[in-house]
Amino acid sequence: MLLLHGLGATGDVWDGLTGLLGRTAWTVPDLPGHGGSPRLPGYTYAAVADAVAGLVDPRGTVIIGHSFGGVIGL
């Protein structure tokens, strides 16, 4: 699973859910410019999506996004 937070938040918003996922494989990045992640030179939906694209396993990844993270996931 790839969990993407909303605009202005960090991956910490998923702490309650990740505790319930147990041994399920999950990744919770801070999107660019949020939390500990570096900024991008320019922000578009495509640029942010490209920044996290390497976290998607081509064999199958469930993407869960909240608000802005949902748009990026799409």
What is the model's pLDDT at position 22?
A: 85
Using DSSP's 3-state secondary structure scheme, residue 4 falls into strand
23 pLDDT above the threshold of 90: no
Identity at 5, one-letter amino acid code:
H
Residue 23 contacts by C-beta under 8 Å, 6 or more apart in sequence?
A: none
Q: Please give the model's pTM, rounded to 2 decimal places.
A: 0.93
Give the pLDDT mean for 65-69: 97
